[in-house]
Chain A
Amino acid sequence: QQKVQQSPESLIVPEGGMASLNCTSSDRNVDYFWWYRQHSGKSPKMLMSIFSNGEKEEGRFTVHLNKASLHTSLHIRDSQPSDSALYLCAASGTGGYKVVFGSGTRLLVSP
């Protein structure tokens, strides 16, 4: 059964700092990665997706993907207290391959 491992489990960064979150899949059939953000008491919402090797930037958020190592990372620059949330990584493959979520990284941005 495919597993998605996220690290660290929790992370505290100062306001204005850089947060770096990691995610690795154990299954070579994986082709797609997503990052979801879940604020406390709310439902997950897709933040960014990445399907090709390399980097993708959207505002303060940057995602990297290395398909050879099945590793993706999410970097948040100029972190804000509103970025405090649970960040979930998800991975899936083509042809109806089920999406698997990691257990998440809990980010706290301290003012």
Chain B
Amino acid sequence: DMKVTQMPRYLIKRMGENVLLECGQDMSHETMYWYRQDPGLGLQLIYISYDVDSNSEGDIPKGYRVSRKKREHFSLILDSAKTNQTSVYFCASSLPTDAEQFFGPGTRLTVL
């Protein structure tokens, strides 16, 4: 059963706290992505990972970092969260970078 999972689904943090969002996939996909989605802005790419320890900045990497130590797992870290990082975060995976992406259910993050 092809699946992308995200944890947690909902998270409320205070400004300045650290945030860890986790993503897993069971399809052995090499490529994984982190996006954020805000009303009227579609999906904005934060980071892309081509495989273990092979990560590349997306369009809006500032304030975020990632970690990929296993092919099936990709983490997004916010060090000292800011209120403007309140958003819905989606993780996705695909085979090569030009293939169909499979999305997780999303994490709704609120930074107060």
- Seen from chain A, the residues whose Cβ lies within 8 Å of a Cβ on chain B are 1, 9, 31-32, 34, 42-46, 49, 88, 90, 92-94, 96-104
* Secondary structure dominating the interface of A: loop
Interface mask (B30-59 → A, CB under 8 Å = 1, otherwise 0): 000101000011111100101000000011
Q: Which of A31, A46, A102, A103 contacts B98 (CB 8 A)?
A: A31
A-B contact pairs, 19 of them (CB 8 A): A9-B40, A31-B98, A43-B103, A44-B90, A44-B101, A44-B103, A45-B103, A46-B100, A46-B101, A88-B43, A94-B98, A96-B97, A99-B33, A99-B101, A100-B59, A101-B42, A101-B44, A102-B42, A103-B42
| Chain B contact residue count (CB 8 A cutoff) | 21
Q: Is A104 touching B42 in the complex (CB atoms < 8 A)?
A: yes
A44 to B4, CA, bound (A): 12
* Secondary structure dominating the interface of B: loop
Known pairs A97-B98, A99-B97, A103-B40 / 18 extra A-B pairs, C-beta < 8 Å: A1-B59, A31-B98, A32-B98, A34-B100, A42-B105, A45-B103, A46-B101, A88-B42, A90-B101, A94-B98, A97-B97, A98-B48, A98-B58, A99-B45, A99-B98, A101-B42, A101-B43, A101-B44
